[in-house]
Structure 1
Amino acid sequence: MSTETIDRPATVTELSFERIQAFLYAEARALDDREWDDWIGFYHPDCQFWMPAWDDFDTLTEDPENEMSLIFYYDRSGIEDRVFRIKTDRSSATSLPEPRTQHNLSNIEVLERAGNTIKLRFNWITNTYRYGETDTHWGTSFYTLDVSGEKPLIADKKVVLKNDRIHHVIDVYHI
């Protein structure tokens, strides 16, 4: 991953919109290129990664510890475990062969800048190709970036999958 354009922001207010975009695009590219170790490098060790489910009343679940979630990791160790399973084929959810993906991001918004954090919202569409079939997933993501270090890190990630009626297991590379 080239981090020339996203490293070393002097302050949270100096991290430009273009550098935020470059960061998000680089994360998506790491998924598309199956650069799993690079992808993990985008995450803060304490990053919670959550994709809530839609309940029977078409409302998102609000408590990942007591309600259904499509994906939930307390911190980066859960993400690291998932990547280990993808890389070593040690999961029944692993897709073999791995699907080809293309992530497209749009409507990137900076919601808040405070202290050493930036809160973002953006829409995404991911096309996935496997076994001659193409699937499309789309939704909205909410990130909190920690910009206190040498490079930004995702400190919190919430992914809202808008088309949650799917015919296979959903994984981190689908979103």
Structure 2
Amino acid sequence: MTTDTINRADTALGFDEIQAFLFAETRALDDRQWDTWLSFYHADCPFWMPAWDDEDQLTEDPQNEMSLIFYPDKSGIEDRVFRIQTDRSSSTSLPEPRTMHNLSNIEVLSQEGGEIKLRFNWITLTYRYGTTDQHWGTSFYTIDATGPKPLITNKKVVLKNDKIHHVIDVYHI
């Protein structure tokens, strides 16, 4: 399989389209277009950021081990967005930081039918109260490309610099 064409049920989803999909998702985060950002997720999509068990081992079971973020489906993500928008969370950063996401090393790991598994690296710069922070890591997505619009059906985010001095939220990663 090449990265030029990823077959979808009856049409082709090219690498440029995959890249554009990922860029559009992160742009929605940077622009705080929450409804647009949520539209990238399937209703059953888990969103998981495992914790580091030690310096080189990630936790493996979000149900029984520590996670930095875990939402078993989109309703958890929607709840988080609701709390961000309505300031109903003690962890909400006010003012919200300005963010800039950069993606690199986008790889198609597998494609079967309309299911595409991706891996990519990312770095997010945030600015708040005159201070710039950075977070970086690797994300693993499963995308269902069989419908009228591709949807993320599984999202795992590995935060590589997990020694952080403030609350981390969905817009940081």
TM-score category (smaller protein) = over 0.9
The CA deviation at 1:13 is 6.8
The two structures have a TM-score, normalised by structure 2, of 0.94
The CA deviation at 1:164 is 0.1
Partner of 2:61: 63
**Identity over aligned residues, as a percent?**
77
For 2:122, which of 121, 124, 129 is the aligned residue? 124
The CA deviation at 1:73 is 0.4
Partner of 1:82: 80
Partner of 2:136: 138
Q: 1:111 to 1:53 in 2, by over 3 A?
A: same
CA RMSD of aligned residues (A): 1.3
Q: 1:10 to 1:156 in 2, by over 3 A?
A: closer
Partner of 1:28: 26
1:97-151: CA deviation from partner (whole Å, max 9, x where unpaired): 0000000000000010002200000000000000000000000000000112100
1:4-37: CA deviation from partner (whole Å, max 9, x where unpaired): xxxxx85377100000000000000000000001
* SS, match of residue 45 in structure 1: coil
Partner of 1:96: 94
Partner of 1:54: 52
The two structures have a TM-score, normalised by structure 1, of 0.93
Q: 1:137 to 1:150 in 2, by over 3 A?
A: same
The ranges of structure 1 where at least 4 consecutive aligned residues each deviate by more than 2 angstroms after the TM superposition are 9-13
Residue 37 (1) aligns with residue 35 (2): yes
Q: 1:12 to 1:57 in 2, by over 3 A?
A: farther
Instruction: Tell me how many residue pairs correspond in the alignment.
Output: 167
